[in-house]
Structure 1
């Protein structure tokens, strides 16, 4: 632990250099953060006499990265609101069901086509179904798309995925780790996740007057302590009842977005979001072992193709049901294509259960490819949509021109 401060200082410097390089090249910064993390992570090979690998500080940087996820999702919640979420409730439920059904089914088919055993097929389906909340949040904020019409559906799908995740992890852990799964335990996990979310959605509508009075704090120091304490406490409570801590942070932001202190909170959170968000992607790179990726190339490429197709189809169907334009619907599928922290969790369950060793490098390479492709596809969604529309007519011009909401810039 003698050099931990030096390692953290070097890590932040490397993150800054990666950010400057991405700005120079005018490319998404996320892949740069991940790749530089891989290059200096505990799993990277030692080069020459000097050892530049981040070993002692890796756990601390990982924790800082977890904070980054919380700040990213909390800020995204502030940019949204519970009111908008409630208005889109039915559309979100249907859209989330469509998204999960298509991607999970394709994941099962992929595992079957790769001739994997049953348990491995279930793990692969979990890896390919759940998108990365952190990457999606980062992309939406960086591209200033939080006010776009399709963002309601994107956030709704993220929350819907968490309910699915709570149920599926219970089932998968039971099957893989203990050989059985309790139906009562699965139902309890699902109900607790749903109850936790519904409680905060209702709270956001009922507790606004109280929150306005409670947050009327003149001292910036005390105001920051109250906000941070609330954020971490709620995220932590969510985690203890098997709701992803990121979703707890998102819900907290949704509630506080309804208060008259929203702008002050946003101003407070902004630098923490940027700093810790960058650390998250660097720490994600630290967790990937580059030496194990080669043996999973074809598996990962096949999964990437399946995911791209499944996400686009699901986005189009979910968007159309919600009454969005074809361009906005395409944006849904292209924005939530990134995979990340939840896919790695699924792979770790497979490792803990003694399943095929290929699952770990498969998940790492699959996540890395989509962490690079996802932000790029989102940024260039207008061009991607135009190209696809020339090949497969996606747009009903007459119908979409009649709706004023479609005049909003959805690119």
Structure 2
């Protein structure tokens, strides 16, 4: 009996406050999320309100016990939010966004940094509050815009393409802002040289991490693919994320930067979509904690006291971002209508603004009122965004009526002229390749030099002392640097532009030779910097010249071979995702569900003895004859006057239904191709870029049939699909052209080479 009573009155097990706080956070977040989903409002606002309700400034509901612990969870949330953003970002997307989006984003960000700063000064705020306000107002919300576009059904509109490009550029600018604001907060003053050095340091480390990451990580994931299930892939991805966070922190950057960079690196791998899918629940969980913690810092009393600044900053945000984004788009060559639509779509602030505001608080350089003001402005502009997107077109119509005819014509001419500016010259093409070789190899070499400087004291203290240790370090470093030094100093720049410049005029040869000498001198300087860490300048210079000379004469072919392998591996990893996606599209048998099928013509077929033009197979059945095999003779992409004979084996392209109807007509027996050589004719998708020799040419003028013995069976343009285009069809930039033919001959025409 006593034992039973003792059991009943046993004290309750005590739960750590962190667990009870987390339960309170997730419960409040879940309830508000359901309410805001029902109201069809952004869930982020629900999280903010949940944080306000369970925070220390609102006592009606149970309150969080340990704010500091929740801040740690929130910091983890920022890391995973930025990691997920990197997975969606991709540096290659940044390259592809084009000048229009880049100009728009740069004009908007610079304008809002200035407008935000001036607004803070006019409100009587101190300099740091004003600077951070400019940063908060400069970045628009990707989440809110995408949601609004989906609900309004405007994602496919032309102005939406510009907006998405602007958001991609802004993502990278936001990362740069985090670094620059951190530097500014540390120095407490605007030092131009220090800010410039921080920008250069950021650019260097981004490039170094990207080059190294693309070379190593996709290869590692590919090798380990057979061993990885979903659980292992998730653990490995998060481990890579946190390792890059540690690396970024050690280099003096924020953890968020490291997470973003690793996400961007993984975005180039074939596992990117799977990783994004696996990480999403983790990101959603910690993201919810982050946004709820943001809400906890909102003090309703401050909002009441600062209602006027909230109102002023909201108006400044809406009109400032509309005007600056619209002006940027207009300057980039967009029409007045599209510029206004883009500007009014970007008139809000969001998740990155919270992160910048949090940075100011964590570094203790901003006032307490700035954070809740930023959250309040974000909440108001989130509600106004869909209405401004709807009002964009009526606003344009009103402004267009008010504009004088001369102004309308001038804007139209400027837009048309900007859009049509294209073309290049030989010097531009050559310098682009020259600078690329210099920059990429220099970054890797400098990275090795930094590593030597950092590791040398540790190696000498722990392993080897004296000159022998120094010589070993130099030899190892030179071995690591050698392929990149060879590429920097000796590698030939294979370019038609280079050859043309050399041939065109003798006055080009002097500058070309000078540029080649500059490359060699730069390689010598890097070797001097390495050896100079251990020996005198004279010894370093003499050693550098000897090393370069020996490498160029004796080891050139070996270094070339080794560098080619490194370059091939890097490019294969860089393009792996695109190649994989192209293969998937080919596996899906084109967007039109077309594919190759093989038939043998029977003697009794009505097609026997008739020419292809007489049969009119494309007109009657929608199919194309890609190959005729007649004994040992193979007629690839046969001409219209070619006849069909008994026993001919033909390869035909079409959809399942088209091929079924064709088979009934020709009374042929389909067969499976077993001869490997018979598969020489296949389906190839190619993309027309700005440098393609096919750009602006019609199918007939392109020589695809005559020169490559190939056939254009379809074109994708602006999400529209054109099957069996006419011979007068002209190729435009970004067209995806589907060609049936031999791979080698197709590639020769694409590159503009004789087949």
Shorter-chain TM-score bucket reads 0.7 to 0.9
Task: Supply the distance in 2 between the matched residues of 1:240 and 1:311 (Cα, whole angstroms).
Answer: 36
What are the Cα deviations for residues 335-369 of structure 1, in whole angstroms up to 9, with x where unaligned? 556631212433665xx46x8xxx422x1332122
What are the Cα deviations for residues 200-249 of structure 1, in whole angstroms up to 9, with x where unaligned? 44456655752542451423332222100111222343345454433433
Cα shift at 1:34: 0.5
User: Any conservation in 1 of the 2:102–2:165 contact (CA below 8 Å)?
Assistant: no
Q: Which has the higher strand share?
A: 2
What are the Cα deviations for residues 40-84 of structure 1, in whole angstroms up to 9, with x where unaligned? 21233x34xxx711122x333333333333333333333343222
Match of 2:132 in 1: 126
* 1:210 matched to 2:215: no
Mapping for residues 158-169 of structure 1, pairs under 5 Å: 158-169=171-182
Match of 2:392 in 1: 385
Match of 1:136 in 2: 141
Match of 2:694 in 1: none
Cα shift at 1:19: 0.6
Distance 1:375 1:302, change over 3 A: closer
Cα shift at 1:15: 0.5
- Select which of 285, 288, 302 maps to 2:298: 288
Task: Supply the distance in 2 between the matched residues of 1:19 and 1:369 (Cα, whole angstroms).
Answer: 18
The runs of 5 or more residues in structure 1 that have no matched partner are none
Match of 1:360 in 2: 368
Task: Supply the distance in 2 between the matched residues of 1:299 and 1:13 (Cα, whole angstroms).
Answer: 33
- Select which of 9, 16, 41 maps to 2:30: 16
Greater length-normalized contact order (CA 8 Å, ≥ 6 residues apart)? 1
Task: Supply the distance in 1 between the matched residues of 2:274 and 2:204 (Cα, whole angstroms).
Answer: 29
Cα shift at 1:14: 0.8
Instruction: Report the 3-state secondary structure (helix = DSSP H, G, I; strand = E; otherwise coil) of the residue aligned with 2:347.
Output: helix
* 1:194 matched to 2:229: no
* 1:302 matched to 2:312: yes
Cα shift at 1:195: 1.9
- Select which of 124, 147, 152 maps to 2:165: 152
* 1:232 matched to 2:242: yes
Distance 1:144 1:386, change over 3 A: closer
Which is further off, 82-91 or 190-199? 82-91
Distance 1:382 1:89, change over 3 A: closer
User: Cα RMSD (Å) of the superposition?
Assistant: 3.7
Task: Supply the distance in 2 between the matched residues of 1:151 and 1:278 (Cα, whole angstroms).
Answer: 25
Distance 1:287 1:170, change over 3 A: same
Distance 1:262 1:210, change over 3 A: same
- Select which of 348, 355, 358 maps to 1:341: 355
Distance 1:115 1:316, change over 3 A: same
Cα shift at 1:92: 6.0
Task: Supply the distance in 2 between the matched residues of 1:2 and 1:132 (Cα, whole angstroms).
Answer: 40
Task: Supply the distance in 2 between the matched residues of 1:383 and 1:113 (Cα, whole angstroms).
Answer: 32
Cα shift at 1:321: 5.0
Distance 1:90 1:240, change over 3 A: farther
Match of 1:376 in 2: 383
Mapping for residues 244-259 of structure 1, pairs under 5 Å: 244-259=254-269
Distance 1:18 1:209, change over 3 A: closer
* 1:54 matched to 2:54: no
User: Any conservation in 2 of the 1:319–1:328 contact (CA below 8 Å)?
Assistant: no
Task: Supply the distance in 2 between the matched residues of 1:248 and 1:323 (Cα, whole angstroms).
Answer: 35
Distance 1:142 1:301, change over 3 A: same
Match of 2:536 in 1: none
The runs of 5 or more residues in structure 2 that have no matched partner are 1-14, 402-407, 421-716, 721-755
Distance 1:141 1:383, change over 3 A: closer
Q: Which has the higher helix share?
A: 1
Instruction: Report the 3-state secondary structure (helix = DSSP H, G, I; strand = E; otherwise coil) of the residue aligned with 2:62.
Output: coil
Cα shift at 1:160: 1.5
User: Any conservation in 1 of the 2:24–2:54 contact (CA below 8 Å)?
Assistant: no
| TM-score, scaled to structure 1 | 0.79
Which is further off, 138-147 or 327-336? 138-147
